[in-house]
Amino acid sequence: MQQTVKASFPKWALLLGILPALFLQITMGIIPSITTFILSFTDISGVKGVPWKFIGLANYKEFFFQQSTRDLLAVLRNSLVFCIGVTVIQNLIALFIALALNSKLVKGRGFYRSVIFLPVVLGVLVTSYVWLNTLNPMEGPVAKLIGLFGLNSGFFTSASSALAWCIFTQIWMAMGYSMVINLAGLQSIPNELYEAGEIDGTTGMQKFKYITFPLLWPTINVNIMLAIIGSLQSYQVILFTTGGRNMATQTLSARVVFFAFNINSGSGAGAMRQGYGATWAMILFIFIFAATLIYQRAVKRREEIQ
Amino acid sequence: MSRNFPLKVLIYTFIAILMIVYLFPLFYALNTSVRTKLDYMSNPSGLAKSIHLENYVEAFKKANLSAYVGNSIFYMAVCTTASILMAIFLAFPLSRGYLKIGGFILGLFLISMFLPDGTIPQFQILLRLGLYDTRLGYMIGMIGGGGTPLLMFYVYIKGIPRDFDEAASIDGCGYFKYMFRIMIPLMKPAIASMTIITAIGIWNDIIRAIIYLSNKKLYPITRGLYVFRGQYQVDMTQQMAALIMVAAPLIIMYAFLQRYIIDGVVAGGIKA
């Protein structure tokens, strides 16, 4: 934090300028976040005029003991698989893409970069529908292609492969972010280091191991953290592709909107139970907290070993 | 032919695969959208035999896009303008260090990433204020001075000398006049970048549109596309036509402004 300097303008004017943003941040940001915790102990519904009360730990009891253990385990497993799948695959490919598009051997880099970034601009609804169309199990192009090898798949409609295709679609959509951040990181590595390395006779692989990777690591680390948090919070691709028809693609964040807003299901079982939804949101919060903590610990331990 | 040749082949193969994975689905959506239903049903993965624009006309009517496009433009204009102005007036005193509580205020904006999701209480607040299913209620959660614009402006303003502030105040120029006449014009590149990113985010919103709006007169364009799927599930050709119409403004804008967009994302990524 920097020191306070003498303002050139009256304080009241500066504060007046801040006020609208501050007011919205407190009323629409911070207070709701904290209130999620409080609502998780109530049976509040999303329908106006319905009476509600505090019910102690009943929501948490329902979460752990009264719902089907098989469903709960499926949700936790799906969240974990979705998070690890997205984080690992997206960051690995984004690293390769950034290295390829930063290489002077490649012509037309700007065009490739634009294409890979395009889905970020198109947004989640367009992305989901584009892939629903392409992965049409009834003689869609990909179905035909794998049919040539004697394979077939229900894609988003099959319980065994739906989650994998959700992970794929999520990565397709968000790859541009990771790529662009990696490219910015690569471009900030001073050229002199590579020149010095060349004088010392480093090979291509050594260059990557001793110059590129260590200097890019802080950037990759940011990307990984963003992917862990983002993938655990994100349910939109799942919502718009599989629609949560069965438990195969349900994750913690998808369940939050399922219970609270009843938008992730064909059946009416969600019923705007926002107190119970808030409980799921708190469990998700703890899950994210734990995941980032475990990741940070692992990174620290690795750095200590080296 | 050099020792780099095998590496080059490898890299270009990798890029070629990526380009197919990224461009084919979009091309296929376009292809689907110009086929007749019969042609599509007989062979979904085939090429369009001839170009039919009837799907576009039909989809435009069924998804009610002519009504929704106006809503989307309205939401985008209001939310983007308000958010960018708020972020500018927030970032300036914080970046300059003019306020003792500046650090605390910045903290209030950065901490939300580490707090539980507040969607449900936010809905309760707006519901109880009678703002459910209103334009204001839909927009209010999308307006804010925080996030990427705050961080980008915070850094950008540091690069603008404080001498300007002093000179203006000595000349008796008021704060708000100074901001609009001098500061905002100096921040143009950063503002351009953040305006586009914020606007795209609002144009693409669908979750808030599902949660907060039930009156069809208030729907943004994405909600038109969403309704389409539920109602006309079997007709892929019309759905893809609607999709192309929703995506086209974005793609055209992207083609011209991508440099600004990508700069903005980099600023957002580096913050963390």
Tens of pLDDT, residue by residue over A191-245, are 888 888 888 888 878 888 888 999 999 999 989 998 999 999 999 999 998 876 6
Lookup result for tokens 């007989």: B42
Quote the CA–CA distance of B20 and B22 in Å, as a whole number: 5
Model pLDDT, residue A303: 81
Model pLDDT, residue B2: 65
Helix, strand, or coil here: B142?
coil
The stretch A140-156 carries a mean pLDDT of 90
Three-state SS letters, B44-84: CCCCCCCCCCHHHHHHHHHCCHHHHHHHHHHHHHHHHHHHH
DSSP H/E element including B107: helix B102-110
Asked whether residue A3 is domain-assigned, the answer is no
Quote the CA–CA distance of B12 and B24 in Å, as a whole number: 17
Burial of B107 from C-beta contacts in 10 A (0-12 / 13-18 / 19+): exposed
Quote the CA–CA distance of B135 and B239 in Å, as a whole number: 26
Q: Quickly state the pLDDT bin for B204 (edges 50, 70, 90).
A: very high
Q: Quickly state the pLDDT bin for B272 (edges 50, 70, 90).
A: very low
CA distance A103 to chain B (A): 9
Overall domain count for chain B: 1
Residue A5 has pLDDT above 80, yes or no: no
Asked whether residue A119 is domain-assigned, the answer is yes
CA distance B269 to chain A (A): 6
Asked whether residue B120 is domain-assigned, the answer is yes
Model pLDDT, residue B231: 47
Which residues on chain A are in Cβ contact (under 8 Å) with B99?
Answer: 4, 7, 11, 14-15, 18
Quote the CA–CA distance of A254 and A233 in Å, as a whole number: 9
Q: If we measure between CA atoms, which residue out of B181, B84, B107, B178 comes closest to residue A7?
A: B178
Residues 6+ apart with CB under 8 A from B210: A261, A263, B223, B226
Q: If we measure between CA atoms, which residue out of A73, A62, A76 comes closest to residue A276?
A: A62
Q: What angle do CA B32, B36, B42 make, to 5 degrees?
A: 80
Distances (CA, A) of B230 to A131, A227, B40, B204, B235: 16, 30, 20, 19, 11
The stretch A131-159 carries a mean pLDDT of 89
Asked whether residue B159 is domain-assigned, the answer is yes
Which residues on chain B are in Cβ contact (under 8 Å) with A26?
Answer: 108
Say yes or no for a CB contact (<8 Å) between B99 and A11.
Answer: yes
Looking at every residue in chain A, the average pLDDT score rounds to 90
pLDDT digits (tens, 9 = 90+) for A105-117: 888 988 999 999 9
Distance of CA B198 to the CA centre of its chain: 5
8 Å CB contact between B244 and B30: yes
User: Which of B15, B98, B175 is opposite residue A5, by nearest beta carbon?
Assistant: B98
Residues 6+ apart with CB under 8 A from B71: B218, B219, B220, B221
Q: If we measure between CA atoms, which residue out of B183, B207, B227, B188 comes closest to residue B90?
A: B183
Say yes or no for a CB contact (<8 Å) between B19 and A30.
Answer: no
**Identity (one letter) of the amino acid at B247?**
A
Asked whether residue B244 is domain-assigned, the answer is yes
Asked whether residue A110 is domain-assigned, the answer is yes
Asked whether residue B37 is domain-assigned, the answer is no
Query: A270 or A73: whose pLDDT is higher?
Result: A73
Lookup result for tokens 């953040």: B194
Asked whether residue A238 is domain-assigned, the answer is yes
Distance of CA A297 to the CA centre of its chain: 20
Model pLDDT, residue B232: 44
CATH number at residue B212: 1.10.3720.10
Residue A246 has pLDDT above 90, yes or no: no
8 Å CB contact between B74 and B140: no
Asked whether residue A22 is domain-assigned, the answer is no
Distances (CA, A) of A163 to A9, A130, A254, B12: 56, 17, 13, 30
Q: How many residue contacts between A and B have a Cβ separation below 8 Å?
A: 294
Cα dihedral across residues A211, A215, A221, A227: positive or negative: negative
Quote the CA–CA distance of B139 and B143 in Å, as a whole number: 7
Asked whether residue B42 is domain-assigned, the answer is no
* Domain carrying residue A88: 58-305
User: Which of B19, B28, B207 is opposite residue A133, by nearest beta carbon?
Assistant: B28
Model pLDDT, residue B94: 95
Quote the CA–CA distance of A160 and A180 in Å, as a whole number: 33
Quote the CA–CA distance of A126 and B243 in Å, as a whole number: 6
CATH number at residue A167: 1.10.3720.10
Asked whether residue B88 is domain-assigned, the answer is yes
* Domain carrying residue B71: 54-271
Asked whether residue A299 is domain-assigned, the answer is yes
Say yes or no for a CB contact (<8 Å) between A14 and B93.
Answer: yes
Residue A123 has pLDDT above 90, yes or no: yes
Rg (CA), chain A: 24
Burial of B261 from C-beta contacts in 10 A (0-12 / 13-18 / 19+): buried
**A144's tokens:** 């035909």
Asked whether residue B171 is domain-assigned, the answer is yes
Say yes or no for a CB contact (<8 Å) between B99 and A277.
Answer: no
8 Å CB contact between B120 and A36: yes
Overall domain count for chain A: 1
Asked whether residue A159 is domain-assigned, the answer is yes
Residues 6+ apart with CB under 8 A from A85: A164, A167
User: Which of B23, B165, B258 is opposite residue A8, by nearest beta carbon?
Assistant: B165
Q: Quickly state the pLDDT bin for B271 (edges 50, 70, 90).
A: very low
Q: For testing the chain A interface, which of B11, B117, B178 should be mutated: the one with the most A CBs within 10 Å?
A: B117
**Identity (one letter) of the amino acid at B23?**
L
Q: For testing the chain A interface, which of B106, B119, B129 should be mutated: the one with the most A CBs within 10 Å?
A: B119
Model pLDDT, residue A1: 47
Alpha-helical (H) ranges within B129-235 are 135-140, 147-158, 163-170, 175-178, 184-186, 188-203, 207-212, 221-231
Model pLDDT, residue A98: 93
- Percent of chain B surpassing pLDDT 90: 65
Lookup result for tokens 């294409």: A115
**A35's tokens:** 């209130």
pLDDT digits (tens, 9 = 90+) for A249-304: 999 999 999 899 887 544 444 568 999 999 999 999 999 999 999 999 999 998 88
Model pLDDT, residue B1: 52
pLDDT digits (tens, 9 = 90+) for B231-253: 445 688 889 999 999 999 889 98
Asked whether residue B70 is domain-assigned, the answer is yes
8 Å CB contact between A241 and A132: yes
Residue A79 has pLDDT above 60, yes or no: yes
Asked whether residue A286 is domain-assigned, the answer is yes
